[in-house]
Chain A
Amino acid sequence: MAGAAAPFALFAAAQAAPAWPVKTVAARAAEALPDHPWTAVLYMALAFAGLGALVAVLGMGLIYLERKIAARFQCRLGPMRVGPHGIFQTVADTFKLLFKEDIVPARADKTLHLLAPFLALSSTALMLGVIPYSPILQISDVNIGVLYIAAVSGLGVMGILLGGWSSYNKWSLIGAMRGAAQIISYEVSATLALLVVVMFAGTLSLSGIVASQAEGWWIWRAPVVGGIAFLIYLTASTAEINRTPFDIPEGESELTAGFHTEYSGLRFAFFFLAEFINMFVAAALTATLFLGGWMPFHIGGANAFNAVMDLVPPGVWFLGKTAFVVFVIMWFRWTFPRLRVDQLMRLEWKLLLPIGFANLALGALAVLYDLYFFPGA
């Protein structure tokens, strides 16, 4: 590809330098540790303060967005009273939940009932810590990246199962069992879609996967295969976070509130928070794996074009893509009716799984015979 025109040679030269040196907060802390231990501690404190702020802002922002977007789809206004355009509605709701009584059913397993929200929220927080938000903004880059994500999400399933079982409520138990069955089923397809990207990128590390998309995002650079994998992954993640049309575990018209029927007050709030942040994590991972993460829209070799794209900072790219996927997931909710349990299982095991396997095989052939764009890069 000789895309760069002569007048833009200056831009091309600028592109040649390693554009985005990746450095995680953990790496900075490790570097500072021998000489300036307090700097390392500072980095750590900053990372956790940032993460806490992210959880709070995301939780409140996403719930507000969900309500506003839902309202717009239904020609309503949504929350309008608390603050301008109701932006403080979720803050008010949070305080309301804080002051609500924490009711535990009489025959519940009280220890497990208390433990379940911990599991749900820690598994979510553990995933937030490894997402590459931008080259300089990633708290920890574990080198088993995608495997780590798949493994940690298993803890969330356990949180749902325990929450449902310990409540001693029939709705809760059925919701938890359905939820777990659904999450683990769609996990299989999500893994197959994710392996396609791993094959093309040749690494499990999330920042490595982002870096491998410097010549183009895998959704189009791996022709057809990438697109199919993207669709499978998006569907499977929507199912894994129990969003409509896959919200059978907590379908309010069938199971009251599913596994968290018997949760109230702040314990309920933590489940709710975990659910919304899981949506962000799913969107961020979809963006990272298939839409380049923080990588600007590049076309291999077209250096002038790429340089223009680089004017937008990587963090903004990441945020934009993630926001887009979040919007799509919210859009699903107002477009598709809820599936039935049997339809859900049929979709996964009889449709997505066979397609996933075929896609994996095609992807492997595409990698082996360089049947994708810019294979040399």
Chain B
Amino acid sequence: MMHDAALTVLFYVLGAGAILCALAVVNARRLLRAALALMFVLLASAGLYLLLGAEFLAGIQVLVYVGGIVILIVFAVMLTSAADLLEDHPSPGRMLAGAVASISFLVFAGGVFARLELAAPAPGARPPADASAIGRRLLDFGSEGYVLPFELLSLLLLAAVIGGIAVARKTPPRDQPFTSGGDAPGEVDIVLPRSQRDEPEEPRA
């Protein structure tokens, strides 16, 4: 009884934390703060998975999303050279696009939730969610199994690799010193866009 009450409290704490952090993601002025808030959202949802008894899923959530996606986002932010500040006044076009995107997502999500029947499964009726049970279903090539999605997933990942390389094709660093080949240690980690070179330093107080 007390156990259930404690779990319920924990559920609401985690849920509220996730929502607050999600608000912080969209309101943060600095992209990196948004990334950090996103990390806490994902951690809180991993906590919710734990409450549901899906330990393996919670582990994967932290491994892939916190350890992978958030890091990738941070690296992507570093690519943009706008890591410090978001735009103060986005152009009307961008605002319109953002409004359309968020409203259509709201409609979509509302439609999905309206159709869902969110009945809690009876205790004990939960399907086993440990690693070996997941593995059995994943590799089962019968009608209950997921072996085809599993194999297709590798193609998806392959596409991600190829796409990433194609998009981020490195331009040969011609105008940079010290990277002309030979045994030059790849020391130039930072590429300054032309506009930012020789930027005058802000006056020191």
Residues of A within 8 A of B (CB): 109, 111-112, 115, 142-144, 147-148, 150-155, 157-158, 161-162, 165-166, 170, 174, 177-178, 180-181, 184, 187, 204, 340-342
Contact = CB atoms under 8 A, between A and B. Distances in A.
A93 B68 CA distance: 36
Contacts of A151: 59-60, 62-63, 66-67
A155 B66 contact: yes
A112 B63 contact: no
A187 B78 CA distance: 21
A154 B58 CA distance: 14
Interface in B60-110: 60, 62-63, 66-68, 70-71, 74-75, 78, 83
A206 to B, nearest CB: 13
A174 B33 contact: no
Task: Report the interface size class on chain B.
Answer: 20 to 34
B36 interface: yes
B9 interface: no
A184 B56 contact: no
A37 to B, nearest CB: 9
B30 interface: yes
B185 A340 contact: yes
B71 A109 contact: no
B157 interface: no
A147 B60 contact: yes
Interface in B168-205: 185-187, 189-190
B78 A177 contact: yes
Contacts, number: 80
A171 B95 CA distance: 37
6 contacts: A154-B62, A155-B62, A158-B66, A161-B71, A174-B189, A204-B131
A349 to B, nearest CB: 12
Nearest to A116: B36
Contacts of A184: 67-68, 71
Nearest to B3: A33
A178 B78 CA distance: 12
B41 to A, nearest CB: 13
A115 B36 contact: yes
Given A109-B30, A158-B70, 11 more contacts: A112-B32, A147-B60, A150-B67, A151-B66, A152-B62, A162-B32, A174-B189, A341-B185, A341-B186, A341-B187, A342-B185
A109 B32 contact: yes
Given A143-B130, A161-B71, A154 B32 contact: no
Contacts of B68: 154, 184
Contacts of A180: 71, 74-75
A-B complex: 10 closest residue pairs judged by Cβ atoms: A154-B67, A151-B62, A147-B59, A151-B63, A144-B59, A342-B186, A340-B185, A154-B66, A151-B59, A174-B189
Contacts of B83: 165
A253 to B, nearest CB: 12
A150 B63 CA distance: 7
